[in-house]
Amino acid sequence: MANVPTPHISAQLGDFAETVLMPGDPLRSKFIAENFLEDAVLVNNVRGVQGYTGTYKGKRVSVMASGMGMPAIGIYAHELFNFYDVKNIIRVGTAGGLTTDVKVRDVVMGQAAVTNSNWAAQYGTGDVKIPAIASFDLLKKAEAAAKEIGVEPNIGLIFSSDVFYDGNTDYDKLRDLGVMATEMESAALYMEATRAGKNALCICTISDHLVTGEVTTPEERQNTFTTMMKIALETAIAE
């Protein structure tokens, strides 16, 4: 039985480029395709999770949404890495600021993710913990791309949580460990990339702040966080 199409992706083999940008929001996927890609073609719309493939500066790039949370991105990352020959996934999402060193609208890159998820239990390593780390090659390229357009990215630890309305996590202790932002997808993405022998990176924009209380609107999150999109696209085509 062929692996593609999958229960979650209707695309055929070859429909995706080697690098896929992965926002959480399907409308952000559509926004990137319409505003940055040339000749973008819709290759997936199962459950409204829009995926497109086009070209950026003459090079083939795809973008597809992941939905919210580690179970969702874990499914799509696993299928893209293992069934569609995708080599790189770059998450372009939003995150909550945890320290005053990062501000709303700042770009953060997750060098590694700490997590309260039990995601790694499926790997059967028992007490041995699986680190959720980004691809060093993608991270280097993304940092260079950011600096090229005049952005100094915040690079370091992020917290991937299974819970949005979280009443248990001690954020002060996370801050003491140097964790700069919180989101809900990257740990699973990084571990799926490690298991598949592929590459992953999380580039996020700070959309709200747990210290200052600042927030952005859904429309702003969907349509105006273009700096991280440009950095991800430049990373996707970097040699």
Distance between terminal CA atoms of the chain? Answer: 36
Give Cβ neighbours of residue 8 (< 8 Å, ≥ 6 apart).
46, 47, 49, 75, 76, 79
Give Cβ neighbours of residue 115 (< 8 Å, ≥ 6 apart).
70, 132, 159, 160, 161, 162, 187
**Other residues' Cβ atoms within 10 Å of the Cβ of residue 34:** 11
Catalytic residue among 25, 101, 166, 208: 208
Is 15 a known active-site residue? Answer: no
Active site residues: 208
